Amino acid sequence: MIRIPQVRVVDEEGAQLGVMPTPQALQMAQERGYDLVEVAPMAQPPVVKFLDFGQYKYELTKREKEAKRKQRSVTFKEVRLTPKIGVGDFDTKVNRATEFLEDGDRIKVTVRFRGRELTHPEIGRNLITRFVERVKDHGVAERTPLLEGKSMHITMASTHKPKSHDAPDRKHAVDVVPKDAVAETPDAADTQTAVVPEAVAPPEAAPVAAPKPARAAAPKPAPVAVPAPAASTNEPAPAAVPAPAGE
């Protein structure tokens, strides 16, 4: 709520309405369907404007996000070397450090010693000197190499301005499509229309009859044991004697 008794009023179109009492300015804003928003509180008297407060807050938040997106904090990167590093690996480290410095970052070049390598710190010092000499066009050393424990390091600051997170530059406008990105359209005579066959529903499967229950097999009769014939007690009859002839 605006507590200042008098304000300088600007209408919704940007026209100056002059200095007037705050209640009068608020009444005019409500009659026009707008809110009375204080846009310059430090002015004498403060400047107010007829605005849609919700739209005003949205645009203000959008501008803050856009400004924050374009800002970029400087980060700290580290490049590690060893006294026995090869030429190819050394060149790769130099190229990587150059990319960091071109982005505006600070780098820390560290040489780690192992075992008896620590007895020759001059090797690490010479290695750092070579490294600084290779990237001198993109960064400057902040101090001399420092040996701490089993590592020697140096910090370098970039001579480039930090890059923002904007989208990469384009060779053409956003709404312009390059010619090489559009495929040539063939003539109507050369165009063949592909006929897509209609989907055919699969034939209905014939109903499968339920299997009849298997009949129980009739039980086979159990074999009956036939008793052996008993031995007869009667003696066999004597054979018949033929009668003599002529009787």
Query: Which of the four CATH numbers 3.40.630.30, 1.10.150.120, 3.30.110.10, 3.90.280.10 does domain 76-158 have?
Result: 3.30.110.10
- Which pLDDT does position 70 carry in this prediction? 67
Q: How confident is the model at residue 13 (pLDDT cuts 50, 70, 90)?
A: confident
Mean pLDDT throughout 105-128? 90
The Cα-based distances of 72 to 106, 165, 169, 219 in angstroms read: 13, 7, 17, 97
- The bridge status of strand 47-51 relative to strand 6-10 is parallel
Q: Which amino acid is at 34?
A: Y
Segments making up each domain of the chain, as ranges? 6-70, 76-158
Collapsing DSSP to helix, strand or coil, 148 comes out as: strand
Res. 161: pLDDT tops 90? no
Q: How confident is the model at residue 128 (pLDDT cuts 50, 70, 90)?
A: very high
What is the rounded CA–CA span in Å between residue 51 and residue 34?
5
Encoded tokens for 41: 């509180």
Task: Evaluate whether 6-70 and 76-158 have a shared fold.
Answer: no
- Is residue 77's pLDDT more than 80? yes
- Is 180 within 8 Å of 163 (Cβ atoms)? no
**pLDDT value at position 206?**
47
- 6-70: CATH topology is Ubiquitin-like (UB roll) (3.10.20)
Q: What span, in angstroms and rounded, lies between the C-alpha atoms of 91 and 202?
A: 67
Looking at residue 220, its amino acid is K
Say yes or no to pLDDT of 175 above 50: no
> 3-state class of 39 per DSSP?
strand
pLDDT one-digit tens code per residue, 21-51:
988 888 888 888 888 888 888 888 889 988 8
